[in-house]
Amino acid sequence: MRLRFPMKSAVLAFVVFLLFIPQFSVGIRMIPGRISAVSAAVGNGFDFGPFVEAPEYRNGKECASQSSNRENFVSSCDASLVHVAMTLDSEYLRGSIAAVHSMLRHASCPESIFFHLIAAEFDPASPRVLSQLVRSTFPSLNFKVYIFREDTVINLISSSIRQALENPLNYARNYLGDILDRCVDRVIYLDSDIIVVDDITKLWNTTLTGSRVIGAPEYCHANFTKYFTSGFWSDPALPGFFSGRKPCYFNTGVMVMDLVRWREGNYREKLETWMQIQKKKRIYDLGSLPPFLLVFAGNVEAIDHRWNQHGLGGDNVRGSCRSLHKGPVSLLHWSGKGKPWVRLDEKRPCPLDHLWEPYDLYEHKIERAKDQALLGFSSLSELTEDSSFL
């Protein structure tokens, strides 16, 4: 007897399946355990490693009770943990690994940090390979990888001053309220080109007062008008959106975010509205930053500047060397064109790039001639002041 396949039933089942796929992301949860992922990545043609396995960093006595049994499941919903969100991609993987390493190394409670890592759906290495690389480098890390669907934002992206700023993954921060598990109420968002040289718990303890949704270091002496085109400022209506606010520039590479207020306020839709306006009338040139300024500037919880010493990658064209602001430093940020791992490998490092180097876990480091300009500096506070990156 010949069996006939019930085509209509199959189509209906497939449609139902699609309806239950999350619009913005799906998750890959990697359970702690030693696996050999580097060889798998290289075997698939992706030579991102190997990376040296990071040392084990354990909680101090002052930390909240945390089981030392590494087989225990740590939930991404655990509100007692410090939650950090970062993007994860093949191009910036080395920076992401160094950033995670720096946070673990300086945290008083490294086992009490949970990392939410967001990978692009069509990254050349595949999100699963990237997940395995992270696990092989940090066998006991608490983390989850979310797959960001790039078609969510691709049609909203406009050309930018630098092509790298057009990467859809740069816009993943706009969708954190949708990408991360709904149980995650609060998160620190960090770019991949940073290192933390202080206890990340201090940043986590930032209080967002009133109805504020985000906190970030603000730079009110910066020329705010330069972040928008003359067409924006000459428009009869658009500048009025800043009415009643005292907007200041802030960098979106370091933000403390209340995701409950974010979701309730539909801030993803507000950011998308400005991106749609940009598609019709060019009102800015700088990628994903201006929509955040339009929505939040003037209503940001001000965080100490020590938590975002940014601009160390130079400007968006030349990527020239920069120095630090005067004062204490808790986080260094290589925003701009120049990235420390690239300049170190090309043997043309800037002095501050050597501060990133101790956190680099890439095994096949090229021998580098140490930049003589750094000799004689015994601490970050001895580096010269330079506010030209604002």
Q: Check whether 374 has a pLDDT greater than 50.
A: no
68-105 pLDDT, tens digit each: 444 567 899 999 999 999 999 999 999 999 999 999 99
Instruction: For residue 273, give the H/E element and its range.
Output: helix 267-280
**Separation between Cα atoms, residue 183 and residue 138, nearest integer Å:** 25
Mean pLDDT along residues 155-169: 73
Is residue 364 within 8 A of residue 344, CB to CB? The reply is no
Confidence at residue 370, expressed as pLDDT on a 0 to 100 scale? 42
Q: How far apart are CA 323 and CA 173, in angstroms?
A: 27
Query: Residue 28, Cβ neighbours under 10 Å: how many?
Result: 16
Rounded to whole angstroms, what are the CA distances from 324 to 81, 254, 289, 314, 386? 31, 17, 22, 12, 6
Are the CB atoms for 51 and 164 separated by under 8 Å?
no
pLDDT at residue 175 greater than cutoff 90: yes
Confidence check: pLDDT of 345 > 70: yes
Structure tokens at 155: 């049609």
Q: What is the DSSP letter of 277?
A: H
Closest by CA position to 122, among listed 178, 173, 174, 168: 168
205 token code pair: 């303890």
Place of tokens 């039933």: 9
N-term to C-term CA, the chain: 77
Question: Which residue from 176, 186, 179, 54 is spatially nearest to 107, judged by alpha carbons?
Answer: 54
pLDDT digits (tens, 9 = 90+) for 13-57: 433 334 444 455 555 554 444 333 344 444 444 555 579 999 999
Instruction: Answer with the residue of higher pLDDT: 355 or 369.
Output: 355
Count other C-beta atoms under 10 Å from residue 298's C-beta: 15
The β-bridge partners of 249 are: 219
Which position has the token pair 């539909």? 266
Residue 139 is predicted with a pLDDT of 95
Q: What is the SS3 assignment for 217?
A: coil
Distance CA 107, CA 57 (A): 9
pLDDT reported for residue 194:
98
Taking the model in full, what pTM does it have?
A: 0.83
Helix or strand run (H / E) with residue 29: strand 25-29
Residue whose tokens read 């507000």: 270
Tokens of 337: 């064109």
Instruction: State how far the Cα of 171 lies from the Cα of 87, in Å rounded to an integer.
Output: 10
> For residue 237, what is the DSSP state?
S
| 3-state class (DSSP) for residue 267 | helix
> Band of the pLDDT at 6, cuts 50, 70, 90?
very low
